[in-house]
């Protein structure tokens, strides 16, 4: 198992490295000259050339990548073209907001999806199952931006019980900052819960049809014990799916934060791309890949320890 974790760590590092190359190349080939962007349209070619040298744009691609990576590893991603603030600080601030949002969304999603999925699996074919399945299908069918917009329409515009946008002011009370989180978190949590419920329904339902369940019943075990035993089997694949969903929250956050003008990473990403703020774009893309890969890594390792077969025999 430790060997597996080691191999998996190696894979993570290789993929991260390749991802950094990809990010660098994307920015490298993106239209628009950073020097031009920096100086504005009125700059003369001579001024641009000077600026290019200053930005280190005249060196070879390899050289610039190595320099860039070196700086990135020291958490130095340069300064934002738009605000002039260090990219790292901008990203850390935004990430803090996103983290708050995602954690709440995950908690809500699990709290909703887990019981629904289990209930549907254990009452397969019943009306309850049909209802839960319908909810899950609908939760998955409504795009995140539509869900967010509808929630704003109902709770902010119509009932005026929740703020429609932003994250409030710095230094506000926890309660009032939570108010800003509720709608975007719900927007993210509903599809999360829907996927979880649907998946669990299938996995637990399948586990309940395995021969070992028949054996357990033949030995007179209580239904509750039988279900819990089956559930331990169903949890392993479910953890994987939940991990993927957590990784996807970041993507969901891009849209949700745009809908709610919430100052997190997603909002920052869209803003920086629209304003061709390349240092920030580089930063968020790198962070996106790193977080996503890290989540998947953690999931794999957790699975490794949760599944006895993996723990004892390795992959």
Partner 1 sequence: MAAGTETVLDVENLRVSSGARGERRVLVRGVSLTVGRRRTVALVGESGSGKTLTGLALMGLTPAGTAVAAERLLVGGVDLTRMSEPEFARVRGRRIAMVFQNPMEALNPVLRVGHQFSQVLTRNLGVSRSDARDRARELLDSVGVSDARRRLGQYPFEMSGGMLQRMMIALALAAEPDLLVADEPTTALDTTLQAQVMALLAERREDVGMGMVLVSHDLGLVAEYADEVNVMYAGRVVERAPTREMFASPVHPYTLALLRTVREIASPGTDRLSSIPGSPPPLDDPGSGCAFAPRCSFATAECTAVVPELKGVAEGHDVACVRSER
Partner 2 sequence: MSAVPVSVRDATGPTVTVPRWWRGLSWRALVGAGGVAAFLVAAVLAGAVSPYSPDALAIGSRLEGPSAAHLLGTDQLGRDVLTRILYGLRPSLESGFAAIMMAAVVGVALGLPSGYFGSLVDTVVTRVLDLLVAWPAVFLALAIVLLLGTGELQVIVAIGLAEVPVFSRLVRSIAMVAARSDHVVAARAAGASSLRIMLRHVLPFVVTPLVVQFAIAAPQALVAEASLNYLGLGTHPPAPSLGAMVSEGQSFLAYAAGPIVFPILVIVALVVSLTLLADGLQDRLDPRSRIGAR
Partner 3 sequence: MQARRDELPPSVDVRDLVVQFRVRAPGVGPRVVVRAVDGVSLRVGRGATVGLVGESGSGKSTFGRALLRLAPASGGSVRIEGEDVLGAGHRELRALRQRAQMVFQNPIGSLNTRMRVGRIVREPLDIQRIGDRVSRRARVRELLDQVGLPRDAEGRYPHELSGGQQQRIALARALASAPSLIICDEPVAALDVSIQAQVLEVLKDVQRATGVSYLFISHDLNVVRHLAHETYVMYLGGVVEHGPSASVFASPRHPYTRGLVAATPVADPERARRSPLLRGEIPSPMEVPPGCRFHTRCPFAEERCREEAPVLGETGDGGRVACHFWRELPREDPRAAPTRGGA
315 near partner 3, judged by CB under 8 A: yes
Site string for partner 1, 185-224 (x = CB under 8 A): -------------------------xxx-xxxxxxxxxx-
Q: Say how many residues make up the chain.
A: 315
Q: Is 79 helix (H, G, I), strand (E, B) or coil?
A: strand
Q: By CB under 8 A, which span of 146-154, 196-204, 288-296, 307-315 interacts with partner 1?
A: 307-315
Closest distance to partner 2 from the beta carbon of 241 (Å)? 5
313 near partner 3, judged by CB under 8 A: yes
Q: Is 86 helix (H, G, I), strand (E, B) or coil?
A: strand
Closest distance to partner 1 from the beta carbon of 230 (Å)? 8
Strand partners of residue 83: none
Surface-to-core class of residue 211, CB atoms within 10 Å of its CB (0-12 exposed, 13-18 middle, 19+ buried): exposed
Tell me which of partner 3, partner 1, partner 2, none is bound by residue 221, counting a contact when its beta carbon lies within the kind-specific cut-off of 5 to 8 angstroms.
partner 1
Per-residue tokens: 142: 């409504």
Per-residue tokens: 191: 């599809």
CA 284-290-292 angle, 5° bins: 100
Distance (Å, rounded) from C-alpha 34 to C-alpha 22? Answer: 18
Q: Closer to partner 2 at the Cβ: 114 or 142? A: 142
28 near partner 3, judged by CB under 8 A: no
312 near partner 3, judged by CB under 8 A: yes
Per-residue tokens: 313: 């025999």
CA 141-146-148 angle, 5° bins: 115
3 near partner 3, judged by CB under 8 A: yes
60 near partner 1, judged by CB under 8 A: no
Binding site residues, partner 1, CB under 8 A:
210-212, 214-223, 225, 229-230, 232-233, 236, 307-309, 312-313
Q: What residues make contact with partner 3 under the rule CB under 8 A?
A: 1, 3-4, 7, 310, 312-315
């Amino acid at each position: 198992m430790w060997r597996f974790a080691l191999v998996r760590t190696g894979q993570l590092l290789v993929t991260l490295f390749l991802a950094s190359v990809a990010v660098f190349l994307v920015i490298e080939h993106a239209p628009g000259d950073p020097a031009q962007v920096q100086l504005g349209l009125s700059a003369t070619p001579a001024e641009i050339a000077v600026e290019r040298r200053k930005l280190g744009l005249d060196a070879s691609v390899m050289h610039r990548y190595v320099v860039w990576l070196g700086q990135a590893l020291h958490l130095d991603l340069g300064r934002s073209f738009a605000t002039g603030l260090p990219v790292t600080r901008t990203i850390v601030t935004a990430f803090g907001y996103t983290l708050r949002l995602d954690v709440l969304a995950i908690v809500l999603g699990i709290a909703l999806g887990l019981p629904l999925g289990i209930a549907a699996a254990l009452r397969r074919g019943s009306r309850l199952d049909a209802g839960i399945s319908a909810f899950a299908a609908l939760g998955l069918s409504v795009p995140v931006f539509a869900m967010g917009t509808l929630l704003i329409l109902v709770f902010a515009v119509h009932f005026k019980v929740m703020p429609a946008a932003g994250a409030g002011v710095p230094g506000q009370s926890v309660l009032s900052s939570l108010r800003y989180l509720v709608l975007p978190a719900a927007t993210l949590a509903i599809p999360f819960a829907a996927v979880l419920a649907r998946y669990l329904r299938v996995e637990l339902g399948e586990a309940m049809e395995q021969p070992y369940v028949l054996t357990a019943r033949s030995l007179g075990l209580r239904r509750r014990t039988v279900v819990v035993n089956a559930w331990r089997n169903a949890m392993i694949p479910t953890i994987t799916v939940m991990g993927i969903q957590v990784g996807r929250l970041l993507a969901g956050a891009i849209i949700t934060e745009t809908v709610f003008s919430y100052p997190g990473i997603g909002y920052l990403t869209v803003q920086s791309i629209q304003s061709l703020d390349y240092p920030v774009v580089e930063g968020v893309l790198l962070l996106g890949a790193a977080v996503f890969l890290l989540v998947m890594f953690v999931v794999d390792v957790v699975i490794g320890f949760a599944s006895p077969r993996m723990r004892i025999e390795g992959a």
